[in-house]
Amino acid sequence: MHIKQIASKFFPQAVKNSYHFLQAVLACIIFGFPSRHIQVIGVTGTNGKTTTVQFIAKILEYAGHRVALASTINFQIGEKKWVNDTKFTTLSPWKLQKFLYDAVKEKCAYVVLETSSHALDQSRVWGIQYAIAVMTNVTREHLDYHKTMAEYRKAKCRLFHLAKQAVVNLDMEDPLYFCVDAKKKALLYSTKDHNAHIFAEHIELDFSGTEFVVNDVHFHLHLPGIFNIENALASLGVAELLHIDFVSASKALESIANVPGRMELVSNTKKADIIIDYAVTPDAFEKLYASVLPLKIPGTKIIHVFGACGNRDRGKRPQMGEIASSYADIIILTNEDPFYEDSEQIIDDIEKGVTKKKDKSYFRIFDRREAIRKALQLAEIGDIVLITGKGAEVTMALGEKHIPWSERQVIEEELLKEEKTAISI
C-alpha cells in the first residue's frame, strides 16, 4: 500500500487539513504575506477554470499589465512560462506562497490563480487576499472527497468569503448562493439571460471557433464550444471590474490560438475533426456533445475515446458512460490515470452506463495508445473523434509510476504511422 493510501486510511481529513493549515500559516510568515503586494484573482468551478485563467491573463496583458498565473496546465510569471507537471490544480502552501513571492519580486501587478475545492477545504490558500473571485459552474465532481454536493458547494463558496468582488455564472444552478455578501460587488454573466451584467448575443459556432457580441463589441474566439463563450464572459466580468475596455479585451481573446488540451483540434489528412479535451465530468460531457452535435455532418460518426481517473468518485463513471452512449456512435473505453485502482474496475464502472444502450458499439482497450490508434483507424472523412480525459497533461499515473504522456503527440504519431502504412500498400 502506498504512503498516500496509508495516510488516507489512518488519518482523518480534519487532521490532514490542520497540517495544511499550519503549513499555510508558516509559509505566509516566511514569505511575508506576498498577496498583500499583488492583486490576486481566483478562479474556481467544476469545469472551465483553466481556460478562464488563460483568458483573464491575456486580457490583463493586453491592457498593459505584468501578469502571473497558476493553472492545471501551466505557470507563468511575466515572460517566464512553464508546464505544470504536478497533477495538482492548486499548489501546496509552501510552493504557492513561494510562487506569489516570486511574482511580486518580478513586479507582476496581477496573479490569476486556479483555485480548487480541495485547496479551499484544506486551507491551502489561507492568508491569500483575493481581490476578485470567479465562479464558472458547479456540477458533480470530487464526491469521493466532499461526499455530498452540499459540501462541495460549501467548499467552493469559501473563495467568495475571501474575495472583495465576485464574478458568477448566472446560467448555473443557484448562482446567488455564491454572491454571499450584498456589500460586495458581484457581476453575473450569461449566454441565456439578457438581464445579466455581461450577456452574449448573436452567437455563432463552428469547429474553427466562436463569435458573439457583448455590449455592441464583437468577439471572435479560435476555440469552439458554447462553454468557451461562458469562459470568455467570466473573463469579461473581471475586465469590467478592473475597468478594462472591451475592445482591448476582444483583441486579447482573439489573439489566443488555442488552450492546450481544451477543445484542441488536431489537423490531419483524414479530414476528420479530431478533438482533444480534458472533459472528466458528466457535465463536461454534456457540454462537449452540445458543442459538437450541431456541427455533425449527416451520415458521419462520432467516435469517443475516454476513461476515468482511479481512486476518485466512482458514482460519476456510469453517468459518463451513459452520456457518451447517448450521443457517440462508437465508444472506446481505456485507461486515463488509474493510479492505485484496478483498471478493470474503472472500466467496468463506466460500462454499466454504456450498456444501457443495448445496441451500442463499444470497445475495451486498456492501452491508451492502442485505443487512440483504433479510433483513428475507424475514422473516415467528416467523422468527429473525441479523445477526452487527459487534455494537456504530461504524465499518466499508473500506481506509483508517472509515465510521460502527450495526448497530441500520441495522436500525431499514430496518424503518421497510418499514413506511412497507406503509402507502402
b/e burial code for range 362-390 (CB count within 10 A of at least 16 → b): bebbeebeebbbbbbebbeeebbbbbbbb
| Average predicted confidence (pLDDT) for the chain | 92
DSSP assigned state of 201? E
Query: Which pLDDT score, from 0 to 100, does residue 361 have?
Result: 82
Res. 4: pLDDT tops 70? no
- Domains present along the chain, CATH in parentheses: 11-254 (3.40.1190.10), 264-424 (3.90.190.20)
Per-residue pLDDT band for 177 (boundaries 50, 70, 90) equals confident
Residue 140 has pLDDT above 80, yes or no: no
Q: What is the pLDDT of residue 152?
A: 87
pLDDT of residue 145: 74
The pLDDT of residue 105:
98
Least trusted range by pLDDT, from 216-225, 255-264, 353-362: 353-362
Can you tell me the mean pLDDT for 258-263? 94
Question: Residue 16: pLDDT above 80?
Answer: no
Going by pLDDT thresholds of 50, 70 and 90, the confidence category of residue 398 is very high
pLDDT in tens, 42-86: 999 999 999 999 999 999 999 999 999 999 999 999 999 999 988
Distance between CA 281 and CA 49 in Å, rounded? 13
How far is it, in rounded angstroms, from Cα 205 to Cα 118?
Answer: 34
Q: Is the pLDDT reported for residue 197 higher than 70? A: yes
Provide the 8-state DSSP code for 274. Answer: E
d(CA 137, CA 117): 12
Give 8's pLDDT tier (boundaries 50, 70, 90). Answer: low
- Res. 173: pLDDT tops 90: no
Integer Cα distance of 9 and 391 in angstroms? 30
Confidence grade of residue 424 (pLDDT, cut at 50, 70, 90)? low
Residues 86-111: pLDDT tens digits? 878 889 999 999 999 999 999 999 99
CB distance 108 to 67 below 8 Å: yes
| φ and ψ at residue 397, rounded to 5 degrees | -90, 115
Q: Which of the residue ranges 5-9, 60-64, 154-158 would you say has the lowest mean pLDDT?
A: 5-9
- Percent of the chain whose predicted confidence (pLDDT) is above 70: 94
Helix (H) or strand (E) holding 111: strand 110-114
In the predicted model, is pLDDT for residue 1 greater than 60? Answer: no
Closest to 405 measured CA to CA, from 357, 349, 367: 367
Report d(CA 103, CA 38) in Å as an integer. 8
Instruction: State the pLDDT at residue 334.
Output: 98
Q: Do residues 408 and 387 lie in contact, with contact meaning Cβ atoms separated by under 8 Å?
A: no
Supply 56's cell numbers: 483573464
d(CA 395, CA 399): 12
Ramachandran sector of residue 147 (left: φ over 0; alpha: ψ -120 to 50; beta: rest): left
- Asked whether residue 425 carries a pLDDT value surpassing 90, the answer given is no
> Nearest-CA neighbor of 142 among 318, 313, 13?
313
